[in-house]
Structure 1
Amino acid sequence: MATVRKGHLLPAIPAKYQVALVVISAALVLSAAMGIRQTFGLFVGPFSYDRGIPVTQIALAIALHNLVWGFAQPFAGAAADRYGCARIVAFGAVVFAAGLTLAALVPSGAMLVVGIGLLVGIGISCTSFGIVLTAVGRAASAEKRSLAMGLASAGGSLGQVLMIPLAQNVRQSSGIAISLLVLALLMLAAAPLGIVLDRRSAADATRVEPPAAPLRQVLGQACRHRGFRLLTLGFFTCGFQLAFIATYLPGYLFLCHMPVGLGATALMLIGLFNMLGSWACGWLGGRFRQQYVLGWLYLIRGVTIGAFFLLPKTSLSVVIFAAVMGLTWLGTVPLTSGLVAKVFGTRHLGTLFGVCFLSHQVGSFLGAWSGGFVFDTTGSYSLVWGATALAGLFAALLHFPIDDTTAHAPRLPVTPARA
Structure 2
Amino acid sequence: MHDAVTPAKPAALPALWLVLLAAAGAFALTMGVRQTMGLYLSPLNTATQLGLGSISLAFAFGQLWWGLTQPFAGAVADRIGAGRTVLLGVALVALGTIITPLMTSTVGLILAVGVLAAGGAGMAGPSVLMGAVTRLVPPERRGLATGVVNAGGSFGQFAMAPIAVGLTAAVGWAASMQWLGVIVLLALPAAWVLRGNARALAAQAGGAAGAAALSAREAIAQALATPSYRYLSAGFFVCGFHVAFLATHLPGVIAACGLPQEVGGWALAMIGLFNIVGSLLMGWAVGRWRMKSLLAWVYATRAAAVLLFLLLPKTTAVVLVFSAVMGVSFLSTVPPTAGLVAKMFGPANMAMLFGIVMLAHQVGGFLGAFLGGYVFQATGSYDWVWYVDIVLAVGAALVNLPIREAPPRLRAAQTA
Work out the CA distance in 1 between the residues paired with 2:4 and 2:343: 23
Instruction: Give the partner amino acid of 1:79.
Output: V
Instruction: Give the partner amino acid of 1:98.
Output: L
Work out the CA distance in 1 between the residues paired with 2:225 and 2:338: 18
Within 5 Å, give how 1:265-414 maps onto structure 2. 265-408=266-409
Work out the CA distance in 2 between the residues paired with 1:132 and 1:144: 15
What do residues 294-331 of structure 1 show as CA deviations (whole Å, max 9, x unaligned)? 00011001110111122211122111111111111111
- 1:417 alignment counterpart: none
Match for residue 79 of structure 2 among 77, 82, 88: 82
What do residues 102-148 of structure 1 show as CA deviations (whole Å, max 9, x unaligned)? 21233333311210011122101111101111111112222211111
SS of structure 1 residue aligned to 2:139? coil
Work out the CA distance in 1 between the residues paired with 2:73 and 2:196: 19
Match for residue 94 of structure 1 among 87, 91, 94: 91
CA gap of 1:123–1:407, structure 2 versus 1, over 3 A, is same
Within 5 Å, give how 1:209-220 maps onto structure 2. 209-210=206-207, 211-220=212-221
After TM superposition, the score normalised by the length of structure 2 is 0.92
Instruction: Give the partner amino acid of 1:395.
Output: A
SS of structure 1 residue aligned to 2:213? coil
Q: How far apart are 1:409 and its partner, in Å?
A: 8.4
Work out the CA distance in 2 between the residues paired with 1:102 and 1:256: 32
- 2:164 alignment counterpart: 167
Q: Does the 8 Å CA contact 1:217/1:410 hold for their aligned counterparts?
A: no
Q: Does the 8 Å CA contact 1:74/1:358 hold for their aligned counterparts?
A: yes
Q: Does the 8 Å CA contact 2:22/2:189 hold for their aligned counterparts?
A: no
Q: Does the 8 Å CA contact 2:8/2:205 hold for their aligned counterparts?
A: no
Q: How far apart are 1:156 and its partner, in Å?
A: 2.6
Aligned residues with identical type, % of pairs? 39
Work out the CA distance in 1 between the residues paired with 2:342 and 2:391: 29
Within 5 Å, give how 1:96-245 maps onto structure 2. 96-198=93-195, 207-210=204-207, 211-245=212-246
SS of structure 1 residue aligned to 2:335? helix
Work out the CA distance in 2 between the residues paired with 1:85 and 1:229: 26
Instruction: Give the partner amino acid of 1:41.
Output: G
SS of structure 2 residue aligned to 1:198? coil
What do residues 351-380 of structure 1 show as CA deviations (whole Å, max 9, x unaligned)? 100111111000000000001111111111
SS of structure 2 residue aligned to 1:380? coil
Structure 2, unaligned stretches of length 5 or more? none
Work out the CA distance in 1 between the residues paired with 2:372 and 2:20: 35
Greater shift in the superposed pair: 139-148 or 342-351: 139-148
Structure 1, unaligned stretches of length 5 or more? 412-419
Work out the CA distance in 2 between the residues paired with 1:199 and 1:358: 24
What do residues 242-300 of structure 1 show as CA deviations (whole Å, max 9, x unaligned)? 10111111111111112331111010000000001001011111111101000001100
Greater shift in the superposed pair: 59-68 or 107-116: 107-116
CA gap of 1:321–1:386, structure 2 versus 1, over 3 A, is same
Q: How far apart are 1:72 and its partner, in Å?
A: 1.3
- 1:415 alignment counterpart: none
What is the CA RMSD across the aligned residues, in angstroms? 2.2
Q: How far apart are 1:14 and its partner, in Å?
A: 9.1
Q: Does the 8 Å CA contact 1:102/1:112 hold for their aligned counterparts?
A: no
Work out the CA distance in 1 between the residues paired with 2:12 and 2:65: 39
CA gap of 1:389–1:178, structure 2 versus 1, over 3 A, is same
- 1:64 alignment counterpart: 61
Q: When you count helix as a share of all residues, which structure comes out higher?
A: 2
Instruction: Give the partner amino acid of 1:193.
Output: A
- 2:33 alignment counterpart: 36
Instruction: Give the partner amino acid of 1:74.
Output: P
Work out the CA distance in 1 between the residues paired with 2:298 and 2:30: 24
CA gap of 1:206–1:56, structure 2 versus 1, over 3 A, is closer
Q: How far apart are 1:70 and its partner, in Å?
A: 1.2
Q: How far apart are 1:341 and its partner, in Å?
A: 0.2
CA gap of 1:110–1:278, structure 2 versus 1, over 3 A, is same
Q: How far apart are 1:205 and its partner, in Å?
A: 9.3
Q: Does the 8 Å CA contact 2:237/2:365 hold for their aligned counterparts?
A: yes
CA gap of 1:12–1:135, structure 2 versus 1, over 3 A, is closer
Work out the CA distance in 1 between the residues paired with 2:358 and 2:306: 23
Instruction: Give the partner amino acid of 1:174.
Output: V
Q: Does the 8 Å CA contact 2:6/2:12 hold for their aligned counterparts?
A: no
Q: Does the 8 Å CA contact 2:82/2:196 hold for their aligned counterparts?
A: no
Match for residue 15 of structure 2 among 13, 18, 29: 18
What do residues 195-214 of structure 1 show as CA deviations (whole Å, max 9, x unaligned)? 101269xxx79943245222
Greater shift in the superposed pair: 166-175 or 224-233: 166-175
Q: Give the paired residue count.
A: 403
- 1:416 alignment counterpart: none
